[in-house]
Homo-oligomer: A and B are copies of this chain.
Amino acid sequence: MTPTRRRDKAATRAALLDAARLRFARHGYDGTGVREIAADAGVDPALVFRYFGSKKELYAQAVRPEIPEGLADGTDRSAAVLADTLLHEVVLADWDEYGGEHPLLVMLRSSGRAEVREQLRAQLCDGYLRQFAERLPGTSPELRAEMLGALLLGLGVMRSVVGSPALNAASPERTRALFARVVAPLVEEE
Contacts and interface: CB of A to CB of B under 8 A. Distances in A.
Interface string A160-183: 011111110010001100110111
Number of chain copies forming the complex: 4
Given A113-B29, A161-B111, A167 B140 contact: no
A153 B146 contact: no
A162 B124 contact: yes
Contacts of A27: 112
Contact of A182 (B120, B149, B183): B183
Given A147-B167, A155-B154, A162-B125, A109 B28 contact: yes
A65 B120 CA distance: 23
Given A167-B143, A174-B143, A28 B112 contact: yes
Nearest to A101: B112
Size category of the binding interface on chain A? 35 or more
Interface string A128-145: 010000000000101111
Given A112-B110, A154-B151, A125 B165 contact: yes
Contacts of A165: 125, 142, 146
Given A109-B108, A109-B111, A112-B109, A154 B163 contact: no
Given A105-B111, A108-B108, A125-B164, A178 B31 contact: no
Given A129-B164, A158-B149, A163-B121, A26 B112 contact: yes
A22 interface: no
Contacts of A164: 121, 124-125, 129, 146, 149-150
